[in-house]
Amino acid sequence: MEIKTSSLLVLADLESGVREIKSLRLADTRFGPVTAAARFRFGDGQAPAGRIQPTTLLEESGAIRLNLGWHGHNITDRVTMQVRWQPTEAPDEPSGLLITAQLTNESAAPIQLDSLSPLLYEAGPEAEFRLGYSPLEWSILRNGWQSWSATRMFRATEKNVPPVFDWLAAMEENVANLSPNKKGVFLGEQVLLVRNVSGGQNLVLGFLTAKRAFSDLRLEIKPRQAKVAKLEACCRFDGIRVAPGETIAAEPLWLCYGGHNEDPLDAWAARSGRAMEARVPRRSPVGWCSWYYFYTKVSQDTFLANLEKLAGLREAMQLDVFQLDDGYQTAIGDWLDVNEKFPDGLAYLVERIRAAGFSPGIWTAPFLAHPKSRLAREHPDWLLRNRRGKPLYANYNPIWDPWTKIRAVDPTHPEVQEWLTDTFATLRGMGWEFFKIDFLYAVSLPAERHDPSLTRAGALRAGLEAIRRGVGPEPVILGCGCPLGPAVGIADLMRIGPDVTPRWTNPMRWVLRDHNCLSTRHAVRNTIQRNFLHRRWWINDPDCVLARENKNKLTLDEVRTFASLAAISGGMFLLSDDMTEYPEARLQLVRTALAHRTQGMRVLDPERGEFPSQMFAATDRGYLFLYINHDSAEINPIFDLKDVLPIEQLARIRHVREIWQDRQLIHQDGLMRLGPIPKHGCRFLEILTAENGMEPHG
């Protein structure tokens, strides 16, 4: 039995399931056989003996349907599963394979469903996995779980190392599915990309939605044998109860091949965004945030002093958002109660911000509660609990309290949902229009919930939906510290990397074995590696640009690098300095970066590893090109424009200008010497292809 598209062939039989999935246009690109799997338990908590097995194979409406079943010793113990492989073809999108699966409990008693895997490949005598010559030629994109989680390319011989402390991993990684810290084993959250850097073949496998369950892709490679041991696409249902006769569907899975200079990851993200009804604002916000200079010491006086300073620059710099961050509340959890540093209250700040011509923005961590907050004291039954019935520890932040761990509310509790909606409706009623909601991962930690029918992903989605109901459809929501998938269609913007810092690297990275930790270098990495989400799921937030001179250990070159990346990436661009002490030279640096913002960029060397260096973007005047030196020593690179532009476009180039040095560069048949680039510095080029009389930006 077979089904095919213009570029994809699927062969199937009852003995193997899907015997082979093969590209018709790329050499050495196929794998199989593949089947499906389910993990469930009965009321006594025991897993059944044996696997769920294929029973029938059918072809229907151009798709293949595989039925599977499990039968216990008791005639009433029966679980069935149905998997469907449907080819997809659409204009301006590579053809792919849509894989859907559902499980039905046909037993007389409930079961607990741990996971559904619509696709499972395992090595065996008849198995083969080819993407070019050898897995040792592969780069694998491992997408992290939440905003701050490291996202990067790995080679097959590397391993993904989790943080050394469990409490740290709980704030940054999916603790229900941690990396096993083994060479050749990679876990990608919701999507996995495998790229052959020699042959150019690509394979993307990703779940399109995340409304009910978290999902992950597990790839196991044996580097010594240069063989693939396993590939599994798994939806995590966290042991939810499935009643007799009830059917549970996995999130839909999409598979696509791509060739050299093709990126099926972009196609997956676009298809996923449509499936989740993504909210993508037309314009990326530009503005100011109080956090990275004042932190929790922000006061009404310092806040309004910066508002007054920027009011005079608003039109010239096209600023639109002015956001109050952490430090105004009396306690974490009590978002409507302001402390003595803000004597006139939140509504007064809204009036002042609007009068200055800005959109008012405010920060909250809506799912967290300090044990001494009014929220936690008055409503202890609203808190998430661990298996022992004690309040769950969801966060530790010494800035808030060095001696106390922070709790989390339970968004599956109807009263918590009502409180969330009412709280944000109250803030919206004051006039706040831009809502940064932070530390959202807390409600997705393993816990005992009021509504056990919701998974960890479902609980997060329920909480986010309650917040959206409160603010209404028009205001902008910026998510942060958020497991990504369930927020699509609710958040308008999303932090896609860790916090920046007023220094390039974080020395604690090595002490804590933490590749997710706050660091400008890590923010650069994630901004590049998660570029595929921008304008497909939301507007990406690379985090704030710290351009100040005082209280800043970033060098001028490092400031220019991050500002250039923020500009060319097309994401949100917020400043977070004390603008009352801003020297004119740094203000001009910001103006220059803002003048070169784009709608989005393309990463030219994604296979480079953790830190790709070349970014390219089209503009209405031509192109922008950014080359970042991630190394700790000076480099002298050469770039060939023929790698990105056809010959006819090369002939139309009128100027190539290095923006920060304001000097012309010469190219010979597309080749350009970029000159010495200092460590952590960059070359930011404006390539003008306009006809006569067009001058570069000032």
Instruction: From 347, 334, 322, select the one nearest 434 (Cα to Cα).
Output: 322
CB atoms within 10 A of CB 191: 27
Model pLDDT for residues 605-655, shown as the tens digit of each residue: 998 889 999 999 999 999 999 999 999 999 999 999 999 999 888 989 999
The Cα–Cα gap between 92 and 103 comes to 34
**Of 263, 325, 334, 499, which is the active-site residue?**
499
Pairing mode, strands 359-364 and 93-105:
unpaired
- Identify whether the C-beta of residue 353 lies closer than 8 Å to the C-beta of residue 432: no
Q: Assess whether pLDDT exceeds 80 at residue 694.
A: no
Query: Which CATH number is associated with domain 603-688?
Result: 2.60.40.1180
pLDDT value for 698 = 37
Q: For residue 513, is it left (φ>0), alpha (ψ between -120 and 50) or beta?
A: left
The Cα–Cα gap between 577 and 565 comes to 18
Instruction: From 26, 16, 32, 23, select the one nearest 97 (Cα to Cα).
Output: 23
Q: Assess whether pLDDT exceeds 70 at residue 287.
A: yes
Average the pLDDT over each of 461-465, 682-686, 688-692 and give the range with the smallest value: 688-692
Cis peptide before 33 (omega within 30 of 0): yes
Six-digit token pair at 504?
């390039």
Residue 295 or residue 508, greater confidence: 295
> Can you say how many angstroms the Cα of residue 287 is from the centroid of all Cα atoms in its chain?
22
Model pLDDT for residues 431-486, shown as the tens digit of each residue: 999 999 999 999 999 999 999 999 999 999 999 999 999 999 999 999 999 999 99
Main-chain phi, psi angles of 334, to 5 degrees: -105, 75
Q: Assess whether pLDDT exceeds 80 at residue 691.
A: no
For the entire predicted model, the pTM comes to: 0.96
Instruction: Report which secondary-structure segment, H or E, holds 686.
Output: strand 682-688
pLDDT value for 91 = 81
Instruction: From 175, 292, 284, select the one nearest 238 (Cα to Cα).
Output: 175
Q: Is 642 exposed, middle or buried (0-12, 13-18, 19+ CB in 10 A)?
A: middle
Pairing mode, strands 63-71 and 53-60:
antiparallel
Q: How confident is the model at residue 692 (pLDDT cuts 50, 70, 90)?
A: very low
- Identify whether the C-beta of residue 142 lies closer than 8 Å to the C-beta of residue 190: no
Query: Taken in order 548, 549, 553, 557, is the CA torsion positive or negative?
Result: positive
pLDDT value for 696 = 42
- Identify whether the C-beta of residue 114 lies closer than 8 Å to the C-beta of residue 239: yes
pLDDT value for 49 = 67
Residue 311 or residue 666, greater confidence: 311
pLDDT value for 73 = 74
Mean predicted confidence (pLDDT) in 312-328: 97
Instruction: From 209, 190, 269, 268, select the one nearest 461 (Cα to Cα).
Output: 209
Q: For residue 345, is it left (φ>0), alpha (ψ between -120 and 50) or beta?
A: left
pLDDT value for 524 = 99
Beta-carbon contacts of 504 under 8 Å, excluding residues fewer than 6 positions away, are 519, 520, 521, 553, 554, 555, 558, 680
The Cα–Cα gap between 508 and 522 comes to 13
pLDDT value for 44 = 67
Our answer to whether residue 166 is catalytic in this structure is no
Model pLDDT for residues 486-519, shown as the tens digit of each residue: 999 999 999 999 999 999 998 887 788 888 999 9
- Identify whether the C-beta of residue 627 lies closer than 8 Å to the C-beta of residue 637: yes
**Of 266, 325, 326, 438, which is the active-site residue?**
438
**Residue range(s) in the chain whose domain bears CATH number 3.20.20.70:** 286-597
pLDDT value for 482 = 99
Average pLDDT over the chain, rounded to whole? 95
pLDDT value for 469 = 99
- What angle, rounded to 10 degrees, do the helices at 520-529 and 556-569 form? 20
Partners of residue 227 on adjacent β-strands: 222
Our answer to whether residue 640 is catalytic in this structure is no
Beta-strand ranges (E) seen in 268-409 are: 286-289, 321-324, 359-364, 368-369, 407-408
Query: Which CATH number is associated with domain 2-275?
Result: 2.70.98
Partners of residue 70 on adjacent β-strands: 79
CATH 3.20.20.70 fits domain 286-597: yes
Partners of residue 508 on adjacent β-strands: none
pLDDT value for 405 = 95
pLDDT value for 164 = 85
Q: What percent of the chain has pLDDT over 70?
A: 98
pLDDT value for 50 = 72
Instruction: Report which secondary-structure segment, H or E, holds 167.
Output: helix 166-172
- Give the angle 419-360-286 at the CA atoms, nearest 5°: 125
Residue 177 or residue 265, greater confidence: 265
pLDDT value for 143 = 97
Six-digit token pair at 239?
């042991």
Residue at 693: amino acid letter: G
Count Cβ neighbours within 10 Å for each residue of 589-627 and write b for 16 or more, e otherwise.
bbebbbebbbebbebbebbbbbbbbbbbbebebbbbbbb
The Cα–Cα gap between 691 and 688 comes to 9
Instruction: From 569, 568, 560, select the one nearest 629 (Cα to Cα).
Output: 560
Beta-carbon contacts of 388 under 8 Å, excluding residues fewer than 6 positions away, are none
Q: What is the DSSP letter of 642?
A: G
SS3 268: helix
Main-chain phi, psi angles of 168, to 5 degrees: -75, -40
pLDDT value for 261 = 78
Secondary structure (H, E, C), 579-632:
HHHCCHHHHHHHHHHHCCCCCCCEECCHHHCCCCCEEEEEECCEEEEEEECCCC
Model pLDDT for residues 119-167, shown as the tens digit of each residue: 999 999 999 999 999 999 999 999 999 999 999 999 999 999 888 888 8
**Residue range(s) in the chain whose domain bears CATH number 2.60.40.1180:** 603-688
Q: Assess whether pLDDT exceeds 50 at residue 294.
A: yes
Continuous H helices in 398-491: 414-430, 456-471
Average the pLDDT over each of 367-376, 417-426, 607-616 and give the range with the smallest value: 607-616
Six-digit token pair at 63?
């798709």
Mean predicted confidence (pLDDT) in 36-56: 84
Compute the radius of gyration of the chain from its Cα atoms: 26
**Residue range(s) in the chain whose domain bears CATH number 2.70.98:** 2-275
Which residue is it, tokens 């913007």? 493
Six-digit token pair at 149?
């989680």
